[in-house]
Structure 1
Amino acid sequence: MGSEQRLNAVGQRDLGVGDGSSPVPDIGQTGRMAPGGVDWRARAGIAERAVVRRHVRRVGGVLPGTRIGRVRWPRRPPASLVPWHYWWQAHLLDCLLDAQLRAPSRSRATAIAALARSVRLRNGWSWLNRYYDDIAWLGLALQRAGTLVGRSGPSALPRIMHRLHDGWSESGGGGIWWRRDDDFKAAPANGPAAILLARDGQCAFAAAITDWMAETLLDPASGLVRDGVRIAADGTVRAVEPHIYTYNQGVYLGACVELAARDGHQRWTDRALAVVDAVRQRLAGPGGVLPGAGGGDGGLFAGITARYLADAALRVPELAVAARELVFANAEAVWKGRAEIGGGPVFSAEWRDPAPEPRAGLPEADLSVQLSGWMLLEAAARLQEA
């Protein structure tokens, strides 16, 4: 069954949404066991239920037919429309799509469509903003969802693609800007854009972006992807931002995997192998556990990397063992370190450490951190199912 068919299929168990209007049933479906007898499908379902119950609400807490991810839990009422984290909502949508592939449900399909509509509503009736990374992330989620989000979702993709094409320039040797009217070209914009474009069949453009990342952003000493470059007024690179973030490795890996599957050039496989090896040797800590990056946007970083490690394990035979081991090592760590609060897990912002009880000022209260843990468990479930 194709992915869109599976996303649109209806399963035996429905998952409600956390607006308080209907209960969220238990998720007890089991799949094939990973080594050690662990049912990662069940664990992913438990994570889904916890995140949805705590974070998914109507827009403003009241608007019927809408769904949006509130950025913190717990938080004091009343419901607020600020702050607005557009790209967190894209990853919430992606996690719900992971869950729909794992255990199709009519009510989840309805919630997915409502979330997509609500993102556009909350974003001023627009799919776009000034950040190229944001719109690439939403494009990836809408592309996966297909017709599940109704006619408006697929119609958004041409606008997103057009904006990404506009974001390319030859300054600094190529690449897409991080945001409009800026001097920064960043891995977090170029990686997801390349993945999206490759999946759309625009492989030449995706390859140009990924080649630019390899030539400009890869640190020759570590083999890891640096954050980006600052461009001078004359179009030359005036500074390299040397920071190494987990998700930059993930999106570069994801782009290489997509291109390896589509044009078959050996450089994509070679680069995928090299960056996974660099992550194992120089970024992951003891036992292969990825470092956290706190709350806020950083809460999503490790989960994004896990998503693309799972893709690599499934699609690049040479990475079937190494990438799989990394995913399961991290899944074991995040599950072991969870806190049980109100009948559901809370995941740590630092997967190597136990999770504290979430409260104001702690990263564990952030939707981004909890999405990252859920995303990781869905990645483990996909590998188990395969």
Structure 2
Amino acid sequence: MFRFPALSRACCGLLLGGLLPACHEPVDDYIAPPRPPVAVVVTNWAARADSAQAALTQGFWAPTGRFYQKNNAGDQAFNYWWQAHGLDVLSDGYQRTQVADYLTQMRALEQGIKAKNNNTYLNDYYDDMEWLALASLRAYDLTREAEYKATAALLWADIKLGWNEQQGGGIAWRKNQRDYKNTPANAPAAILAARLYALDRNPDDLAWAQKIYAWEKKTLVDPATGAVWDGVNRQGDGQIDKDWRFSYNQGVFLGAGLALYRATQQTSYLEDATRTAAYVLNDGQLSPGGVLKDEGTGDGGLFKGILVRYLAQLATEPAVSATNRANYVAFLKFNGQSLYQRATRRPQFLFNTNWTAAPSGTVDASTQMSGVMMFEILADLQARKLL
């Protein structure tokens, strides 16, 4: 029998313990294969925007009248300021895709608005005209077609006539009620004037933008929170409608602050915009559970679309802090996901006024346009690699 040479017990222990495996320990030579990588599903917001645009055209466009009908049930009622947002939505689609069909429909809509409005672009409501001027100016920026700029210039000349010194200044809401001033008639006018200045560098436009903005901020903005009130003297009593806090008003005021910051580089304007944006993100009544509230059918259907459009513009401003940008993008994405997952009727791709519940019944064009805006905005943010 073979024996180890004479070694100490310690050496034998090392040999036996270190070199010879214990017989009761199992030998496991199996090597587990690497786990397959987890698939990451990336939401295609551009595809969703395409579907939303198609649903808007198929369900609401009146090709013979060249305008958007009131709803998807065929109601032919014409709403001037909804058409302005329709033009903006078509501009969204063209800017994203460069598809010529959008240009054709944009031209048709601009002509259809005039035809349906008694062969004129002028209107009794100053806020309505401001929206068409803004949409026309944007269409000009995208196409350089002179007709759009001419429309914006015509409207701007008439809008300025709405300014008067009742209630300390401001542009009236409508021509036969010159003592009632509100955010819808003033903040978009400030945006328009600032953008005209950016285009033509006419100092008179900048002076108008600053004058209108100063009145709006002094009269209809809560200096502590940045919340934007709706109007003053609606009932002839000099009172401010502080309980009317719509997403629309927050959107146009922060949009005006951003437009003036870009025109002047004065940081106070950007600070105003970010203060109001913080109010939007954190107010439990305006954004319960982080989703913009239901503001009803009709005109209210457009309110959320207006807010998200201008908040997205603020999110893309280079001077905004990284923290604020991330917060704005997260808020927009959360709202867009809620709209798609909970408030979109598929396969029709129709939207609800409540972005947390499935739609039922007839859908207004205003409501549909807000949904299209939401998806177009997220497609743009995704293209910028901000999502």
**TM-score (normalised: structure 1):** 0.81
Task: Determine the C-alpha separation between the residues in 2 that align with 1:248 and 1:309.
Answer: 12
Q: Deviations over 1:20-57 (max 9, x none)?
A: xxxxxxxxxxxxxxx96111111111111111111112
Name which of 310, 313, 334 aligns with 1:311. Answer: 313
Q: Report the Cα offset of residue 114 of structure 1.
A: 0.7
Question: Is 1:336 the equivalent of 2:341?
Answer: yes
Superposed CA RMSD: 2.0
Tell me, which stretches of 5 or more residues in structure 1 are unaligned? 1-34, 61-66, 360-364
Task: Determine the C-alpha separation between the residues in 2 that align with 1:336 and 1:211.
Answer: 41
Which amino acid letter does the alignment assign opposite residue 316 of structure 2? Answer: L
| Alignment-derived partner of residue 14 in structure 2 | none
1:151-162 equivalences under 5 Å are 151-162=146-157
Task: Determine the C-alpha separation between the residues in 2 that align with 1:73 and 1:310.
Answer: 28
Question: Is 1:238 the equivalent of 2:247?
Answer: no
Is the CA contact (8 Å cut-off) linking 2:246 and 2:286 kept in structure 1? Answer: no
| Alignment-derived partner of residue 175 in structure 1 | 170
| Alignment-derived partner of residue 356 in structure 2 | 352
Task: Determine the C-alpha separation between the residues in 2 that align with 1:278 and 1:370.
Answer: 26
Task: Determine the C-alpha separation between the residues in 2 that align with 1:119 and 1:221.
Answer: 41
| Alignment-derived partner of residue 165 in structure 1 | 160
- Give the secondary-structure state (helix, strand or coil) at the position aligned to 2:172: coil
Tell me, which stretches of 5 or more residues in structure 2 are unaligned? 1-39, 198-204
Q: Which is worse superposed, 166-175 or 302-311?
A: 166-175
Q: Report the Cα offset of residue 107 of structure 1.
A: 1.7
Which amino acid letter does the alignment assign opposite residue 172 of structure 2? Answer: W
Is the CA contact (8 Å cut-off) linking 2:225 and 2:276 kept in structure 1? Answer: no
Task: Determine the C-alpha separation between the residues in 2 that align with 1:203 and 1:326.
Answer: 32
Task: Determine the C-alpha separation between the residues in 1 that align with 2:258 and 2:383.
Answer: 20
When residues 239 and 36 of structure 1 are mapped into structure 2, their CA distance, relative to the original with a 3 A threshold, is farther
| Alignment-derived partner of residue 26 in structure 2 | none
1:7-26 equivalences under 5 Å are none
Q: Report the Cα offset of residue 154 of structure 1.
A: 2.0
Is the CA contact (8 Å cut-off) linking 1:330 and 1:351 kept in structure 2? Answer: yes
Task: Determine the C-alpha separation between the residues in 1 that align with 2:327 and 2:206.
Answer: 26
Q: Deviations over 1:224-266 (max 9, x none)?
A: 1010101798xxx711112111100000010000111110112
**TM-score (normalised: structure 2):** 0.81
When residues 340 and 351 of structure 1 are mapped into structure 2, their CA distance, relative to the original with a 3 A threshold, is closer
| Alignment-derived partner of residue 299 in structure 1 | 301
When residues 232 and 204 of structure 1 are mapped into structure 2, their CA distance, relative to the original with a 3 A threshold, is farther
Question: Which protein has the larger Cα radius of gyration, Structure 1 or Structure 2?
Answer: 2
Is the CA contact (8 Å cut-off) linking 2:229 and 2:245 kept in structure 1? Answer: yes
Q: Report the Cα offset of residue 173 of structure 1.
A: 1.9
**Pairs aligned (count):** 331
| Alignment-derived partner of residue 29 in structure 2 | none
- Give the secondary-structure state (helix, strand or coil) at the position aligned to 1:185: strand
Name which of 94, 105, 109 aligns with 1:100. Answer: 94
Q: Report the Cα offset of residue 150 of structure 1.
A: 4.7
Is the CA contact (8 Å cut-off) linking 1:136 and 1:160 kept in structure 2? Answer: yes
Q: Which is worse superposed, 366-375 or 274-283?
A: 274-283
- Give the secondary-structure state (helix, strand or coil) at the position aligned to 2:349: strand
Task: Determine the C-alpha separation between the residues in 2 that align with 1:103 and 1:370.
Answer: 20
Is the CA contact (8 Å cut-off) linking 1:112 and 1:149 kept in structure 2? Answer: no
Task: Determine the C-alpha separation between the residues in 2 that align with 1:166 and 1:302.
Answer: 29
- Give the secondary-structure state (helix, strand or coil) at the position aligned to 2:174: coil
